[in-house]
C-alpha cells in the first residue's frame, strides 16, 4: 500500500475539513470510515426527491463570516431559518425559542413590557432561592432555566423534553445546555441568533463530497479492525475523529454519550406537520421530536407538489457499546474522565484529535469546522 502523510479516521465534518486543508497544503491523505457512506452524522440521502437527514436535523448557523464563506465555497446554501414549534403537555402548540409569540400564547401578554414583568415574576422565586443559598451562578440546568425563564415555561417546554433527551434529571445536567436557546422580547421565532444560517442546496452529502474531492476515501473500513501499529505503515500521522475513550481502549473507563434512533417513515401526504421540526415537550410521548425533511428545502422549490413526505421520529437513549454516539454528556464526572483521556492525547506526537467525539464537546457544525481548522493550521 502507498504511504500517506495522513490517515484521517472518520469522513464526517471534522475529517472532511482536516482532509481538505491537508490536501490543500500538499499532503497526501487517506480518509477511512467504518460506515458505508461519507458525511458522518451530517449525511443526507435523497429519497423520493427529498434529502433525508439520516442522523437527525442539521441546520448550519454561524456568525463567523470566515466559516460561512468557507462552507459556501464548496456548495450553495439555502435560506432555511429554523423555527421549531413545541407540542406541549397542555395539548397546545408554542413557538420556540422563547420569544414574544411564546409569551403571548402562554400568558396573553402583548407587549415586551408586559412580558418582561411576567418573566420577572416567574423568575423571582428561583433567583431568591439561589440568593438564599449564596449561589451567584446557576449550578445546573434546572436552576439555569428557572432563573432565565421561570417556572411556567420550564414546566411546559423544558423539563420533560430535556429529561427525555438526556435521560437525567435537569438538576444533574450542566447549565450551559439550556443557554444554547435564545430568550427574546421580540416576535422572532428564529431558533438561532447567528448572522448566517442555511442548509446546503442538494444536501450535506454534497458538501462533504466537495470537500473530499480528489482525496482517497475508503469506506466500510474500521480503524479498530487492526492494531494501531499497522496503520503506522499506512500513514505517518493520524487525524482521529472518533470517540477518544475508544481510542484508548476505555482504559480509564467509558465516557457517557447519548444516542439517538430514528423511526423514519414515508407518508402519502404532501405536508404532514407544516414545519421541519416539531418538539414534543410532554413526558408521555416517547420521542423528542418529529422532523419532516422536505421543509428544509422549501425555498425556491415547490416541494409541496410532491405528494409524498418523509418524517423521522427521534428517540433518545443512553449509549451502549455498538450504538452510534451522538451527544457527549458533559457533566462533572465525564469532564474529569475526559480530562484524563485528553492528557493522554496531548502526549501524542503523531495523532491529532478533532471533532465532537474526539474532543468530547457539544459542538455545532460551525464549531467543529472552526476547531478543526485551528488544529490543522497549527500543523501546516
Active site (catalytic) residues: 180, 184, 258, 289, 314, 362, 364
Using CA atoms, how far apart are residues 200 and 204, in angstroms rounded to an integer?
6
Q: How far is the CB of 58 from ligand UDP (least distance, A)?
A: 9
- Mark residues 8-47: x for contact with ligand UDP by CB under 6 A, - for none: ----------------------------------------
Please identify, among the stretches 155-163, 213-221, 330-338, 347-355, the one whose residues bind ligand UDP according to the rule CB under 6 A.
155-163
Strand residues in 57-129 grouped as ranges (E): 60-62, 85-87, 93-95
Q: Which stretch binds ligand UDP (CB under 6 A): 159-167, 194-202, 317-325, 338-346?
A: 159-167
CB of 246 to ligand UDP, least distance (A): 22
Q: Quick one: which of 17, 95, 147, 165 contacts ligand UDP (CB under 6 A)? A: 165
CB within 8 A of 131, min separation 6: which ones? none
CB 125 within 8 A of CB 151: yes
Q: What SS3 state is found at 12?
A: coil
Q: Between the CA of residue 180 and those of 267, 277, 288, 336, 358, what are the distances in Å?
A: 33, 17, 17, 23, 21
User: In terms of Cα–Cα distance, which of 79, 80, 83 is closest to 93?
Assistant: 83
Give the C-alpha separation, 324 to 111, whole Å: 45
Question: Does 189 help bind ligand UDP (rule: CB under 6 A)?
Answer: no
Q: What is the Cα–Cα distance from 154 to 142, expressed in whole angstroms?
A: 8
Would you count residue 276 as binding ligand UDP (CB under 6 A)?
no
To the nearest whole angstrom, how small is the minimum distance from the Cβ of residue 160 to ligand UDP?
Answer: 8
Angle at 80 between CA 78 and CA 81, to 5 degrees: 145
Residue whose CB is less far from ligand UDP, 13 or 177 = 177
Residue 161 CB, shortest distance to ligand UDP, in Å, is 4
**Which of the ranges 60-68, 71-79, 161-169, 300-308 carries the binding residues for ligand UDP, by CB under 6 A?**
161-169
Interaction of residue 358 with ligand UDP, rule CB under 6 A: no
The count of chain residues that interact with ligand UDP, using the rule CB under 6 A, is 13
CA-closest candidate to residue 350, choices 225, 228, 221, 211: 228
- Kindly identify the residues of this chain, within the stretch 70-89, that bind ligand UDP according to CB under 6 A: 86
DSSP 198-237: E-BTT-HHHHHHHHTTTSEEE-S--GGGS-HHHHHTTEEE
| 3-state SS, residue 43 | coil
Decide if residue 158 touches ligand UDP (CB under 6 A). Answer: yes
Question: Among 148, 177, 212, 370, which residue sits at the site for ligand UDP (rule: CB under 6 A)?
Answer: 177
Q: Which positions touch ligand UDP (CB under 6 A)? A: 86, 96, 157-158, 161-162, 165, 177-178, 180-181, 279, 281
Amino acid at each position: 500500500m502507498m504511504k500517506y502523510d495522513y490517515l484521517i479516521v472518520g469522513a464526517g465534518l471534522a475529517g472532511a475539513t482536516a482532509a481538505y486543508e491537508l490536501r490543500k497544503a500538499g499532503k497526501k491523505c487517506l480518509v477511512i470510515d467504518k460506515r458505508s457512506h461519507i458525511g458522518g452524522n451530517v449525511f443526507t440521502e435523497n429519497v423520493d426527491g427529498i434529502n433525508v437527514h439520516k442522523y437527525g436535523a442539521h441546520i448550519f448557523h454561524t456568525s463567523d463570516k470566515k466559516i460561512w464563506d468557507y462552507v459556501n465555497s464548496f456548495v450553495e446554501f439555502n435560506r432555511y431559518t429554523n423555527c421549531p414549534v413545541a407540542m406541549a403537555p397542555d395539548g397546545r402548540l408554542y413557538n420556540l425559542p422563547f420569544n414574544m409569540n411564546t409569551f403571548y400564547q402562554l400568558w396573553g401578554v402583548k407587549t415586551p413590557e408586559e412580558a418582561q414583568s411576567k418573566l420577572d415574576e416567574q423568575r423571582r422565586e428561583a433567583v431568591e432561592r439561589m440568593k438564599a443559598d449564596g449561589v451567584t451562578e446557576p449550578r445546573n440546568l434546572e436552576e439555569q432555566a428557572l432563573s432565565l425563564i421561570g417556572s411556567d415555561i420550564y414546566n411546559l417546554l423544558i423539563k420533560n423534553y430535556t429529561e427525555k433527551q438526556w435521560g437525567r434529571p435537569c438538576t444533574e445536567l450542566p447549565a450551559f445546555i439550556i443557554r444554547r436557546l435564545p430568550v427574546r422580547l421580540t416576535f422572532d421565532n428564529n431558533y438561532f441568533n447567528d448572522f448566517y444560517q442555511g442548509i446546503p442546496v442538494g444536501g450535506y452529502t454534497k458538501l462533504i463530497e466537495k470537500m473530499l474531492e480528489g482525496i482517497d476515501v475508503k469506506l466500510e473500513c474500521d480503524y479498530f479492525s487492526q492494531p494501531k501499529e499497522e496503520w503506522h505503515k499506512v500513514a505517518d500521522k493520524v487525524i482521529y475523529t472518533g470517540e477518544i475513550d475508544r481510542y484508548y481502549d476505555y482504559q480509564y473507563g467509558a465516557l457517557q454519550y447519548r444516542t439517538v434512533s430514528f423511526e423514519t417513515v414515508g407518508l402519502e401526504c404532501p405536508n404532514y406537520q407544516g414545519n421541519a421540526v416539531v418538539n414534543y415537550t410532554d413526558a408521555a410521548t416517547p420521542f423528542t421530536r418529529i422532523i419532516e425533511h422536505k421543509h428544509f428545502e422549501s425555498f425556491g422549490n415547490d416541494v409541496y407538489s410532491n405528494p409524498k413526505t418523509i418524517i423521522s421520529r427521534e428517540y433518545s437513549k443512553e449509549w451502549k457499546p455498538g450504538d452510534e454516539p451522538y451527544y457527549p454528556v458533559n457533566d462533572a464526572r465525564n469532564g474529569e474522565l475526559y480530562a484524563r483521556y485528553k492528557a493522554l492525547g496531548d502526549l501524542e506526537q503523531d495523532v491529532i484529535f478533532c471533532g465532537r467525539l474526539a474532543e468530547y464537546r457539544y459542538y455545532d457544525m460551525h464549531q467543529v469546522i472552526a476547531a478543526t481548522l485551528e488544529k490543522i493550521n497549527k500543523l501546516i
